[in-house]
Structure formats: C-alpha cells, structure tokens
Amino acid sequence: MRKVFFYALISGLTFHLKAQSTKDILKQQAGEGVKQGANVATQKTADKVTDKVLGKLFGGKKQKGAGTSDNNSTASTSNQDHPLNNTAASKNASDNKSDLKTYSKFDFIPGEKVLVYDDFSKDDVGDYPATWNTNSTGEVVNSSASAGHMLMLMKQGKFIPEYIKSLPDNFTFECDVISNDKFSYYSPALSIYFLSGKNDKQVFDGSFIGLQKRSGVKISLHPTGGGNNSGVGNVEGFDNGESFLKNEINSTQFKSTSGMKTVHVSIWRQKQRLRVYLNEEKIFDLPRAFADDKPYGTALFEIWGDMKDQDRYLLSNLKLAAGLPDTRNKLLNEGKFVTSGILFDVNSEKIKKQSYGVLKDIATVLNENPSINVNIIGHTDSDGNAADNLNLSKRRSEAVKAELIKDFGIDASRIQTDGKGSSEPIASNATAEGKANNRRVEFLKL
C-alpha cells in the first residue's frame, strides 16, 4: 500500500511540473514575450526566462558559457564569428563535417575593411536594439540555438540598422539567420533590402519603393518550401520604383524540417553585380542587379506578414565590409595581404568552412608564383587575457599553414608563422568595428 501511495505522489508532482512548464510556453504564445515586464527584476532572471522559452522553440543543448548578458565576458563580446579571438559561433547540421572541401565551390571573399559589426552584445536581453529602428517590435535574446546575443523577430514590420548610412559600390554583407524547428510554410519570409536613397523614417511607408522611385534589390529567405522538400530563396530587382527581375530558388541549406535551422548568409556587391550565398551554395549571381548611376544608402530587414504560432527568426553577427579584395596585387606588389575573412571555431584553432574562399584565393596566388614565400601572422583584439590571445593567435596561424599545405598543396618550406595577439592593433578596440578589424590574419611576403 505504501508503494502505491508513494508512486501516486511522485506521479502527481511530475504532472504538476509539466503543467507549469506548459503554462510558461503558453504565456509566450499569448504574447507576454521573453521580457516579463515588472516580473523580471534582474538581467539574470530575464536570461532564465528567455532560455526556458527559446530552448523549447529552438532545441539543442546550450553551449557552455553561452547565454550570459555580462558585456565584460568574452562569451558575449564582439568576438563572435571573427578570426583569431572567437568565443561564440552558430552551428548547423553541416558543421559536423570537418572537411573544408565541403565549401570547395564557395568563392565568397569578404571586403577588406569592416564598416559595421553588430552582435547585439551591448544591448540588454529583452530590449529592442538601441541603434536600430522599427515600426514593429523585436527583442534581444539568448538561446540554446547559438551562443551570444541575437535579435529575435516575430512580428510584421521593418527593422532598420540606423548606423548604416551608405553602401559602397563594392561591399560584402554577412549575417547568421536562425529559425525554429518545423517553421510554418504559411509564415512569411525574412527579406533583406539594399536600396538607393536615405535610410530614414520614410522607409516605413508601405509603398516606399514606388513613391520614391528607389532602385535596389530585395533578397528573401524562407526555411520551408512547398512539400517541405527544401527552403526557398527569392530575389527581386527594382529600377526607379519598377520591378524588373524576379526569381525563386529552392535550397536545402536553410531547411528547418531537416534540422538546417541556421544559415550563414553572404551577400557580395561588385558595382552592378550581386552574388548571394546560403552557406556554401551560391543561389544568385546577377550581373546587373544594381543601377550603375545611383548612390545606395538604405539597408533594412522586413517581415511582410503575420507569423504563425511560435515561428521566429533570429539574427546575429551582422558584418558590412567595404572594398574589392585584391589578393594578388596586395601580396605581390605591396608585400602584404590582410584579411578578416578566415574564421575559427569557439576558442579553437579549427578553421570554419566559410573561410574556404579566402584560403583558395591566397593559395591560387601562391601556386601561380612558386618563388614567393610568406609569413602568416595572427592578430586579436584586446578582449581577454593577453597571454591567452597570443597563444591562440599563434595556434591559428599554424592552422592556416596546415590547411594551405593539406588542401591546396603549398610546400611547407614556403610558409612561416607567428602570432602577435593584441599587441599591434590597426583600429580602436573601443568599438565593435575596430575590434573586428583588429581580429585579422596577415600574409607578409618574405
């Protein structure tokens, strides 16, 4: 009899706990949000609420050290997805493959100078970013889906990074986009616009393209296509307010139903030309997407309709860089090529697959000029312990050398390595953009 009573007691407690968990999720569905207003008395409490809800939505085991809101912690600073000092990185199913050659067709090369870098580390969890504008809502969150802060978007509206005031003739734009599992086919896509004209309040006009005769492009992503066989990428071009090109491409790189919830988006403008990549797959290469006689100054994200159920988009690691990379001229004629496009795993010398395009470009120059020898030097920003940064930069320089030897056939005798840690900054470490430029790999001609 005691056993029956004990079993009934345990079952009742278990049911109560499950009911409480369900209640919390239902509160989120009802629109109470991650930040619970007056009930959230501290940042730590906000993090716990966020983790409870987003962990349910996005799944996966929370990374060690992730999810803190302490801006003095290297886990939440601007070290994410950048070379030589990374402390956080987004994961997707393809990351389980260790071979860099899975990105063998990835020819994307980031711009030379980082103009903008935003990992939302300076924004409080539960708030909309102070340097963005919107006619809707959004919240900075932590989640088991990725380390660090992210911007969660779940309502119809426009979302504008106001710090982007102009777009060069040659630029690259990168970001990570995450969706939840089983994202509804009926929820709207996430769109990224690059348009002529000012990035001001007039972009909130629902008809702003037609009324102001803007030119530019709209790139849209959706993690669920018809029949759940793939995700979808769309592109639309505008010239003086008129749509002149449209296309839709299926892609399995962003497909929530098969676990591909995270996608690294790489966009490359070379004057009129537009290239768009989802992870390693180039989904668009348009020779004349941009007008050749207009200044571009508007960048924004948009969700054009109401989201269904618990569907969410998370944004992180936004990076705008300027300049047309010229590896050959820089290395052969100027004697030095500097890049922030070689990326590594968290606190590791393991090179991320997105680095393949940069490595291939360097290897091509070295293979075509067999008399040239190089010294590879790693640099970090000033975050963290100086001795640890020095050690990490040296290990990562060695990793770059090993990759050039293994995958590209460069003779080991042609390569030397070194690391400088944070001792030789080329920009201020007081800003996220400055830190991003300081985290770099240099190739010096010997």
Write the CATH number for 404. 3.30.1330.60
Four-CA torsion 190, 194, 199, 202, nearest 10 degrees: -70
Q: Are residues 277 and 191 in the same domain?
A: yes
Query: What's the pTM value of the predicted model, to 2 decimals?
Result: 0.78
Q: Strand pairing partners for 263?
A: 177
Could you tell me if residue 90 is inside a domain? Answer: no
How large is the average pLDDT for residues 183-189? 94
Residues 177 and 304 in one domain: yes
pLDDT, tens only, 371-391 = 999 999 999 888 888 999 999
Report the pLDDT value the prediction gives residue 58, as an integer from 0 to 100: 60
Residue 27 located in a structural domain: yes
Residue 52 shares a structural domain with residue 186: no
Q: Are residues 317 and 336 in the same domain?
A: no
Largest CA distance in the chain: 89
What pLDDT does residue 45 have?
46
Q: Are residues 166 and 20 in the same domain?
A: no
On the question of pLDDT at 315 being above 90, the answer is: yes
Amino acid identity for residue 403 in this structure: E
Exposure string over 403-425, b if 16+ CB within 10 A, otherwise e: bbeebeebeeebbebebbbbeeb
pLDDT in tens, 61-71: 333 333 333 33
Residue 412 lies in a domain: yes
In degrees, rounded to 5, the angle at the alpha carbon of residue 407 between the alpha carbons of residues 404 and 412 is: 40
Return the bridge partners of 194, or none: 217, 299
CA separation for the pair 239, 237 (Å, rounded): 7
Same domain, 205 and 285: yes
**95 found inside a domain:** no
Does 11 or 382 have the greater pLDDT score? 382
Residue 66 to residue 204: CA distance in whole angstroms: 35
Which residues touch 81 (CB under 8 Å, ≥6 apart)? 88, 89, 90, 176, 317, 319, 343, 352
- Phi, psi dihedral angles at 244 (to 5 degrees): -125, -10
Q: What is the pLDDT of residue 318?
A: 95
Per the model's pLDDT, the better-predicted residue between 11 and 416 turns out to be: 416
Q: Does 124 lie in the same domain as 270? A: yes
Do residue 332 and residue 241 come from a single domain? no
pLDDT digits over 348-365, tens only? 888 888 888 899 999 999
Do both 232 and 140 map to the same domain?
Answer: yes
Q: How many domains does the chain have?
A: 3
Q: CA 429, CA 190: separation in Å to the nearest integer?
A: 32
10 Å CB burial of residue 252 (0-12, 13-18, 19+) is middle
Query: Are 228 and 350 in a shared domain?
Result: no
Per-residue confidence (pLDDT) for residue 368, from 0 to 100: 94
Owning domain of residue 410: 327-445
pLDDT band of 327, cuts 50, 70, 90? confident
Instruction: Note whether residue 39 is domain-resident.
Output: yes
- Boundary of a domain, candidates 58, 87, 102: 58
Mean pLDDT of the chain: 80
The verdict on 316 and 341 lying in the same domain is no
Residues 272 and 337 in one domain: no
Q: How far is CA 374 from CA 27, 300, 351, 365, 421, in A?
A: 58, 41, 19, 11, 19
**Residue 126 belongs to a domain:** yes
Q: Which of 58, 85, 103 is the last residue of a domain?
A: 58
pLDDT of residue 306: 94
Q: Which of 39, 58, 77 is the last residue of a domain?
A: 58
Return the pLDDT at 74: 30
**By C-alpha distance, which of 281, 408, 282 is closest to 351?**
408
Q: For residue 101, is it within any domain?
A: no
Rounded Cα gap, residues 298 and 196, in angstroms: 6
Instruction: Of 443, 292, 296, give the one whose Cα is nearest residue 374.
Output: 443
Q: Which residues contact 233 (CB under 8 A, 6 or more apart)?
A: 219, 220, 221, 222, 248, 249, 250, 251, 254, 276, 278, 283, 284
Can you tell me the mean pLDDT for 202-206? 81
Find how far residue 348's CA is from the centre of its chain: 18
Cα–Cα distance, 144 to 246 (Å, whole number): 36
Q: Is residue 99 in a domain? A: no
